[in-house]
Chains A and B, each alone.
Chain A
Amino acid sequence: MLKNRYLWLFVGFFALMALLAVGLTRDPREIPSPLLGKPAPAFSLPRLDSGAPFSPEEMKGRVWLLNVWASWCVSCRAEHPLLVRLARERREILPIIGLNYKEARGDASLDMEKLDETAERRLIEERARQWLDTRGDPYVFSVMDADGRVGMDYGVYGVPETYLIDKGGVIRFKQIGPITPEALERDILPLAEKLRRESAAE
């Protein structure tokens, strides 16, 4: 027979266990993003290497990463070696496409008044290529988002940001800020592997 005064011990015990069990099913790091689980916004932007237009439609049927970067972005420098290594190890399995974001306009030191559209484009190409030549190019290719409109559609609020997009073109994961080795090992690679195994129909 349980005495009443000991009953609270077990109430507390079961409440604590239930709470911890529920806690296990949640991820505290996950900051909800309205884009998660939604189709990646469509766009068509010129490629940095050839100038040919690229649209995310072309990647249907593949799992890929969209990485937002710019040469003026300080944290991108920290992230870059990790991307280069990732590309070297699994370029075929998990292609990375770069979204070069506001390369000229994002740099406060440039006076945009003096640049027309072609001059801006030339400047972007020059700066972006120089960055990729000196630091290595992890991207299958990069596209130029000169005015940042596509970035706005994707809800970019800090560069770098990285999106994991599945075979059906749905955003499944978003990394805000540089990809850390932990995030890569813990979240991105396992999820990418899982998505790759799923059939495109899902």
Chain B
Amino acid sequence: MLTEIGHFSLILAFPVALFTGVFSLWGAQTGRLAWTSCAKSGALALFFTVGFAYLCLTLAFVNNDFSVRYVAWHSNSLLPLVYRIAGVWGGHEGSLLLWLLMLCGWTLAARIFSRSLPDALRARILGVLCLIAAGFLLFILLTSNPFLRLFPGAAEGRDLNPMLQDPGLVVHPPLLYMGYVGFSVAYAFAIAALLAGRLDAAWARWSRPWTLAAWIFLTLGIACGSWWAYYELGWGGWWFWDPVENASFMPWLIGVALLHSLAATEKRGCFKNWTAFLAILAFSLSLLGTFLVRSGVLTSVHAFASDPARGVFILIFLAVVLGLSLLLFVWRAPSVGLGGRFALFSRESFLLANNVLLAAAGGTVLLGTLYPLIVDAWNAGKISVGPPYFEAVFVPMMWPLLFLLGVIPFVRWKETLWKNTASDLRLPFVAALAAAAALPFCYGAWNFPSALGFFFAVWIFIGAKYQFLRQASAARGKESLLRSCFRQPLSFWGMHLAHVGVAVFVAGVAVVSVFSEEKDVRMAAGDTVEISGYTFRFLGMREMPGVNYSAWQGEMELSRQGRFLRRLFPEKRFYYSSAMPMTEAAIDSGFFRDVYVSLGEPLDRARPDGEWVARVYYKPLVNWIWGGCFLMALGGILAMLDRRYRRSRFSSSLRRESGSC
């Protein structure tokens, strides 16, 4: 019964979204106040109808209602409660519902935090968001309805995919979706501003915290997925250039470009068109990612069971959203002024270079991702594009970007004397050269890729610190330097913290990709294997029953130079519901390195207590990769909390600015 009510609530949400969208946009365009005011209640109603539907589906999972087809396919009565709640987004239909719920959540947030905006602008923003929600509602109701019943109901569910029964994967999709969907707010802002024909500094300032929020979620979501792949899949890799990973990476890259372009638009009023275009692009790439994942046009480990009807729907949706946005853009963009002038050697032009590089890098990822489709479309055969392409094409494009990253904080808006900047950069440059020359020897031998990595890491790190301290000391007056540091605006802190995150990330990537070691060995009880000074001693296997799986657990003793460190327990799990065994690697994590072991296959299937194939890894600085991502996200959070985005102050300045337009 509850399922039917939830279903009905979802159906009800569609006309709510559609009418709210149409009326508020039309009202804003024709200046009818009564119509625009429906946006506020519409956004609220939309959130509650969709939220209620989501709640009903969750309850069906919690209560093991296997007469609901979606529940029967993605849950099981043996499944622990937390995975039953997370199971709602374990399949295509439910994850779309979660996506929609988040979209409505963002819409509600936009409604709440937009009180200070002019009515028409607010109605346009909410209207665009409601129309997007209407599109997704239609998609769910027509092609991917999670509320359908099974006749007769199943006695037992098929269980959640064992891959998803892991804490990492419980949080990975929601974070990622929050990021994807979050870009819809930046998109709605851009569309609203284009509709009003007013792309100004107020618009940029308003968009910034929202774009930041979406980008933070996306960063954390990607990092979380990468970390999961690393510890769960047991291949020791952290990024595979899989089409679906790329689908999340492209909006991230464009999101970074958008953040920096917004900064220039807000501060100097330049690049308005470009910023609006990036906002459209970021959201369109999110939609494209959805299309790639859900339609099954590309092979990927992430792909959902595909259904052509779904692909067709999303493609039409994408075509409508992107096509209309581009038309609007082309119609409005020529009338937008160029903004403040700037010299060749200025922060503006460097940010422009950064943007071009990021967009080009996004383009190479797009090309690599779609290339198999292009080849297939010409009937030229089946190919797949993997890491060699991306390492050869994408990675070198990052070098100039990383170099610029160290330079830009020293360059002032409008115009800078290049001599001044060059002398500012002397210290970071010397430090980076020294690091590149010396640090690779810490890991044994000097080689070019790791030296390059260290160079950029130190270049960015020292540059960020130096610039931060210099600015703080210049502004300190009579107070102490420390005090002055803390008096710097949060956005300044955030920027440097995020840049330090990039430095940490680069160091991690460089060291891991060059100095990792791995060994495949066969081990019987009592055998030892040594890797990079660490010794694993295999003590034996034992059987370990789990709730909904049985497992063979190995026991390993890890020691270094004869000193015992800890025991490790790698596992091989056999879920009752699946033929695929799952590998649970055992990792000894540290600040400077991970050592880890994962089990392969027993040599003789009949004797799982005997010899096994195992793989041991030594991964220096691998945690810096995710640490760097975390710092980037933290920097984003700080920047978002900056005082000037808070309502009281900024609403007055906004009124002033919009009044002047």
Contact = CB atoms under 8 A, between A and B. Distances in A.
B319 A17 contact: yes
A20 interface: yes
B474 interface: no
A193 B319 CA distance: 34
Given A28-B372, A78-B580, A82-B579, A23 B334 contact: no
B563 interface: no
Nearest to A7: B330
B315 A20 contact: yes
A29 B299 contact: yes
A6 B297 contact: no
Contacts of A3: 330, 334
Given A24-B308, A182-B305, A81 B374 contact: no
Interface string A20-64: 111110111101100000000000000000000000000000000
B658 to A, nearest CB: 28
Given A78-B580, A180-B579, A13 B297 contact: no
Contact of B297 (A9, A24, A32): A24
A79 interface: yes
A135 to B, nearest CB: 13
Contact of A2 (B299, B312, B323, B330): B330
B382 interface: yes
A185 B92 CA distance: 15
A9 B305 contact: no
A6 B330 contact: yes
A77 B579 CA distance: 9
Contacts of B322: 13
A13 B326 contact: yes
B377 interface: yes
A180 B301 CA distance: 14
B159 to A, nearest CB: 10
A110 interface: no
Given A2-B330, A13-B322, A81-B579, A19 B305 contact: no
Given A24-B315, A178-B579, A74 B297 contact: no
Nearest to A17: B319
Contacts of A23: 295, 297-298, 373, 376-377
Choose among B296, B312, B334, B372 the residue with the greatest number of A CB atoms under 10 Å from its CB.
B296
Contacts of A78: 579-580
Given A6-B330, A28-B372, A182-B305, A20 B299 contact: no
Q: Decide if the interface of chain B is mainly helix, strand, loop or mixed.
A: helix
Interface string B571-607: 0000000111000000000000000000000000100
A157 interface: no
B333 to A, nearest CB: 7
Interface string A114-130: 00000000000000000
Nearest to A81: B579
Choose among B334, B372, B382 the residue with the greatest number of A CB atoms under 10 Å from its CB.
B382
Contacts of A24: 295, 297, 308, 311-312, 315
A28 B376 contact: yes
Q: Decide if the interface of chain A is mainly helix, strand, loop or mixed.
A: helix
Contacts of B291: 20
A186 B377 contact: no
Nearest to A30: B382
Contacts of B578: 181
Contacts of B295: 23-24
B319 A19 contact: no
A6 B308 CA distance: 32
Contacts of A29: 299
B605 A74 contact: yes
A20 B297 contact: yes
Contacts of B315: 17, 20-21, 24
Contacts of A20: 291, 297, 315, 318, 373
Contacts of B306: 186
Interface in B370-414: 370, 372-374, 376-377, 382
A6 B331 CA distance: 10
Contacts of A185: 305
A186 B330 contact: no
A19 B374 contact: yes
A180 B305 CA distance: 12
A6 B579 contact: no
B377 A22 contact: yes
Given A17-B319, A26-B377, A81-B579, A9 B330 contact: yes
Nearest to A186: B305
Contacts of B579: 78-79, 81-82, 178, 180-181
Interface in B263-315: 291, 295-299, 305-306, 308, 311-312, 315
Contacts of A77: 605
A78 B299 CA distance: 23
Contacts of B318: 17, 20
Contact of A9 (B311, B326, B334, B370): B326
A81 B305 CA distance: 21
A22 B376 CA distance: 9
Contacts of A74: 605
A29 B299 CA distance: 6
Contacts of B158: 181
Contacts of B326: 9-10, 13
Contacts of B329: 6, 9
Interface string B310-344: 01100100110011001001100110000000000
B364 to A, nearest CB: 15
B373 A19 contact: yes
A81 to B, nearest CB: 7
Choose among B311, B318, B333, B579 the residue with the greatest number of A CB atoms under 10 Å from its CB.
B579
Contacts of B334: 3
Interface in B167-197: none
| Minimum-distance CB pairs A-B, first 9 | A23-B297, A23-B373, A22-B377, A78-B579, A28-B299, A6-B330, A24-B311, A26-B376, A17-B319
16 contacts: A10-B326, A13-B323, A17-B319, A20-B291, A23-B373, A23-B377, A24-B297, A24-B308, A26-B297, A26-B377, A28-B299, A81-B579, A180-B579, A181-B158, A181-B578, A181-B579
Interface of B: 158, 291, 295-299, 305-306, 308, 311-312, 315, 318-319, 322-323, 326, 329-330, 333-334, 370, 372-374, 376-377, 382, 578-580, 605
Given A23-B295, A24-B297, A74-B605, 14 more contacts: A9-B329, A17-B319, A19-B373, A23-B297, A23-B298, A23-B377, A24-B295, A28-B299, A28-B376, A29-B299, A81-B579, A180-B579, A181-B578, A186-B305
